[in-house]
Amino acid sequence: MTIYREIFEVIKQRKSDFEKGIAQENSYTAYLFDKGVDKICKKVGEEATETVIAAKNGNNEELMNEINDLLYHVMVLAANQGLDWSDVEKVLEERNEKIGNLKQFHQVDKNT
């Protein structure tokens, strides 16, 4: 089991506990579930932006931290929306089978 799956299992447990009304005190994950999809999406957006900034600044130490913050918030979003991490991985596996197949982009004639 990858570390990401392990973390996702903890996130799912926090969601289950939250839904049962037994959320762990001081749990940031439970706080996010309590605030709902708008707050979770806002955090995903913030972390994505911070990831881009860290990359643009050339700070790989900061970048590694921001990537993990982003992945954590994406996992919370996935759990909130009823997805399982294996569902996400399955899509990635399917896409991996297509590696090397350059997509053809639709060319638009802006003069017409």
The CATH class, in words, for 3-20+27-86 is: mainly alpha
110-to-105, 107 alpha-carbon distances in Å: 15, 9
For the question of whether the overall pTM of this predicted structure is more than 0.85, the answer is: no
What pLDDT does residue 107 have? 63
Residue 95, pLDDT > 60, answer yes
Cβ contact 8:85 at 8 Å: yes
HSE value, Cβ hemisphere, 13 Å, CA-based, for 83: 15
**Running DSSP on this structure, what letter comes out for residue 103?**
P
In which residue are the tokens 């969601």 written? 15
Residue 1, pLDDT > 80, answer no
Per-residue pLDDT of 12-64, as tens digits, reads 999 999 999 997 888 999 999 999 999 999 999 999 999 999 999 999 999 99
Q: What is the mean pLDDT of residues 71-83?
A: 97
Tokens linked to 23: 């959320």
Residue 104, pLDDT > 90, answer no
